[in-house]
Amino acid sequence: MPHHTRHAYAAGMAERQFWFNVRTGEVEELDRKSQSKDVLGPYPTREAAEQALRLARERTRSWDEDDRRWAEGDGD
């Protein structure tokens, strides 16, 4: 990466962040972000925020399975 690009990145040009609003199903940016109780994030891209609920469901399923295995003595 050229030095001037790294400098701009470090200065905040790439700090755009996105949140997924679980109440409305919409992706929001900082200047229009709803209350924290209604959003997941921040995410580095709009696309990542759009996948937030799917990812949260997948992680919850995985953690529930880990808990089940641990409770049954099958965990590491």
- Is-above-0.85 flag for pTM? no
For residue 22, give the nearest of 45, 46, 56, 69 by alpha carbon: 56
Residues in the chain with pLDDT values less than 50:
1-11, 13
- For the chain, the structural domain boundaries read 14-71
- Which H helix or E strand runs over 46? helix 46-50
Q: Residue 15 has what pLDDT?
A: 82
Q: Residue 1 has what pLDDT?
A: 46
Give the Cβ contact number of residue 76 at 10 Å.
Answer: 5
**C-alpha distances out from residue 43 to 27, 28, 73, Å:** 10, 10, 36
Q: Residue 27 has what pLDDT?
A: 97
- What is the C-alpha to C-alpha distance for residues 58 and 53, in angstroms, rounded to an integer? 9
Side chain identity, residue 74: D
